[in-house]
Amino acid sequence: MAKNLVIVESPAKAKTLSKYLGRNYTVKASVGHVIDLPKSKLGVDIENDFAPEYTVIRGKSKVIAELKKAAKGKENIYLAPDPDREGEAIAWHIAHKLNGDKGTKIKRVLFNEITKKAVQEAIQHPTEIDQNRFEAQQTRRILDRLVGYQISPLLWDKVRRGLSAGRVQSVAVKIVCDREREIRAFQKKEYWSITAQLEGGSPPPFAARLLKIGDHKLDPEKLRIEDQASAQGIVEKLRERQFKVTKVDRKERRRFPTPPFITSRLQQEASRKLGYTPSRTMRIAQRLYEGIELGAEGPVGLITYMRTDSVRISPEAIEGVRAFIDERFGKDYVPPEPVAYKTKKGAQDAHEAIRPTSLERPPDSVQGFLSKEEIAVYSLIWNRFVASQMTPAVFDQTSVDIEAGDMMFRATGQIMKFDGFIRVYTEGVDDEKAADDDKDRKLPPLSENEVLKLLELQPEQHFTQPPPRYSQATLIKELEELGIGRPSTYASIMSTIISKEYVSEENKRLHATELGFLVSDLLTEAFPDLMNVEFTASMENTLDAIEEGKQPWLDALRSFYGPFSQDLAKAGQHMRDVKREGQPTDIECPKCKSPMVVKWGRAGEFLGCSAYPECKTTTNFKRDEDGSIVPVAEEAIDEVCEKCGSAMKMRFGRYGKFLGCTAYPECKNVRSLNRPVPTGVACPDCKEGEIFEKKSRGGKIFYSCGRYPDCRFATWERPVPDPCPLCAAPFVVEKTTKRLGTVRRCLSEGCEYKETVEEAEAV
């Protein structure tokens, strides 16, 4: 009989560890948290020093019973959840549930990577549960509960049911809204550039761009050629002038590799190069970390822990990758000394950067065992890590200044002399224009005072551009730079703000919705500290200080809750009652001439008469690019309401056009135009597509894979991107009925998870 018990989070990790530990160890999975705050109430005793009211998660009593049974008679129990705050909390709660057997030694073990060497070494050097790290997690959980469960009901009452607020998510929405306002307020300006095609004494011809007029450098925002007439006037002057080289600057430029991945950078690069959402990237990385079946070799953890903000690499890994580079590419690609990267201030340095666990498993050697998305992410991690320890790329860069009277042109070019790390990997860019700077451009041999031949002058019109909308990747980058959130939270923040309809995603860019603007403005006015970027970042620093043992956790909660409770009380009395008053507009009701107001219905925004209920006029509207409201003429629809027999009309909602009953609000029937709506959940069958909400010919909602007909996965129940608490399946499904309410269950064969979800839960 095994003398030792090891408890991990997931069944996949349990399977991998069992292979490495042998018959003297039993490995069990808790399948995530077993204890948490209750869903049905606040669960925090504010009057009693914020004491948390922990309860066993529904469906986890069976798991705890199995863990207790497995623990009986064991000499040692090793708690091995993930090496972060959430993992520490899981270990802490399990330890307290198993503490009945006083003779059993309960230890904590940490795996930065799941390899035989790392696992056995961790077991040989166990530690104690880190009380400070647990208290940091507990503080974060209580803070988020206080914010979510006390502000969300306020939004339900003032705006509409189902909304939520969050300590970090609400600030993320505000950042998107602020950018959207910048875009709407932006006034584009016309400007012109002038390019000269020139020829020297030696080929080839080359292009030079007008840089200065007199002593003033051209700039689209300050000094610019404003219109075509001005540009044409300059061109006419230049035709009569001599073009002469005044300066030739040749220098060697080195381009250095980027550091190995941290969590946020992996999410950004997977978005740029693979088109994956952060949540999808993290699901894939989790599988690579916990173990992939490699044929006869069994399950193997292919990457180190994927939630980290440190670029540190172990000396053994650096030594191994330098030897690999030497063998694969030659000595010229190995720097004289290992490349050292500096971890940003405030980062947690407990874990290494994300890297392969073994350089003996290059992507091509494991490709046959990995899915398409797994090999794509693994290749990114592999190539980035190898390139991070390679020599710089070397370019010969030339800059030539050319005088034409009082005007100065400049031509630049570069030639790669040595590819260095670029042979393996180059980082993607968010701005496509930036990529053009990397293209090789060769200039002919030129010398100072050389007179050039003018071949052509090309004036070109441009317009200044507003700041770009965030993508999920660039929003994560912004949050990271502002010090908001942590590696483990970014993916869930993106999913939440989209699923709550505060933000919509179009062509992979995030657009603030009017609901997002409304909620963000209401919260900013009522909770100025909570919505302040610096305040939110300081809270992250406070959590770090608790983890480092530098600050008592209760002091942090008391400091936060005093001002917050005062703001909460004021908001209950003074926050705008949008649900009842609507947003006023300057548009007149076509029937009674009263002002129309924007209201929020079940299917989105609409214009309603402010004289309701005396006047029940409603109409659709759209918003211009600057956000102004424009009524939309109703389209003639030859459809009748199947509920009351009234005519249906075309309306606009959060997913675009839909059909609504003209008898609204007496009849609130709506009908989709059958446009698929993304759910953010990956298909469990093909593991490549996303599940979409669709409507059958009979008007019934169902959910199916977006890769249909190649993949035929379908279900009548709504997928929810929460892992199953029993079997760790990546999502569960839910169905709402009048008799049972909202019930969640798992689709995995043999899994018995099923629970009723309380309506009061807030995210």
> Phi and psi at residue 343, in whole multiples of 5°?
-75, 135
Give yes or no for a contact between 498 and 280, defined as CB atoms under 8 angstroms apart.
no
The list of the chain residues with pLDDT below 70 reads: 100-104, 345-350, 431-440, 601-604, 625-626, 633-636, 652-657, 672-677, 697-699, 737-741, 756-763
User: Which burial class, exposed, middle or buried, applies to 264 when counting CB atoms under 10 A from its CB (0-12, 13-18, 19+)?
Assistant: buried
Partnered with residue 400 across adjacent β-strands are: 248, 411
As given in the structure block, the two tokens for residue 649 are: 């009309």
- The pLDDT assigned to 106 comes to 93
- The pLDDT assigned to 435 comes to 47
- The pLDDT assigned to 229 comes to 96
As given in the structure block, the two tokens for residue 755 are: 């629970």
Q: What is the spatial distance between Cα 290 and Cα 103, in angstroms, rounded to a whole number? A: 31
Model pTM above 0.85? no
Q: What is the spatial distance between Cα 450 and Cα 242, in angstroms, rounded to a whole number? A: 11
> What DSSP state is assigned to residue 710?
T
Q: Which architecture does CATH list for 137-185+468-576?
A: Orthogonal Bundle (1.10)
CATH of the structural domain 4-129, one choice from 3.40.50.140, 1.10.260.30, 3.30.2320.50, 3.30.160.100? 3.40.50.140
- The pLDDT assigned to 681 comes to 84
- The pLDDT assigned to 760 comes to 32
Query: 4-129 and 190-256+393-463: same fold?
Result: no
Give yes or no for a contact between 290 and 114, defined as CB atoms under 8 angstroms apart.
yes
Topology (CATH) of 263-388: Topoisomerase I; domain 4 (1.10.290)
Q: Where are the domains of the chain?
A: 4-129, 137-185+468-576, 190-256+393-463, 263-388, 582-666, 677-756
Q: What is the spatial distance between Cα 432 and Cα 439, in angstroms, rounded to a whole number? A: 12
User: DSSP assignment of 416-435, as one string?
Assistant: EEE-GGGGT-----SSHHHH
User: DSSP assignment of 222-280, as one string?
Assistant: SS-B-SHHHHHHHHHHHTTS-EEEEEEEEEEEEEPPPPPB-HHHHHHHHHHHH---HHH
- The pLDDT assigned to 758 comes to 44
Residue from 78, 276, 305, 333 carrying the catalytic annotation: 305
Nearest Cα to 308, choosing from 637, 85, 115, 499?
85
- The pLDDT assigned to 677 comes to 67
State yes or no: is 502 an active-site residue. Answer: no
Q: Domain 190-256+393-463's class? A: mainly beta
Q: What is the largest CA-CA distance in the chain?
A: 98
Helix, coil or strand: residue 346: coil
User: Which burial class, exposed, middle or buried, applies to 636 when counting CB atoms under 10 A from its CB (0-12, 13-18, 19+)?
Assistant: exposed
Give the H/E segment covering residue 515: helix 514-526
As given in the structure block, the two tokens for residue 420 are: 């260095």
> Phi and psi at residue 544, in whole multiples of 5°?
-65, -40
Average confidence score pLDDT of the chain: 88
Pairing of strands 393-404, 407-418: antiparallel
CA distances from 578 to 154, 253, 386, 443, 601 (A): 11, 59, 55, 63, 12
Give yes or no for a contact between 402 and 408, defined as CB atoms under 8 angstroms apart.
yes
Nearest Cα to 247, choosing from 410, 406, 455?
410
> Phi and psi at residue 329, in whole multiples of 5°?
-120, -15
- The pLDDT assigned to 365 comes to 95
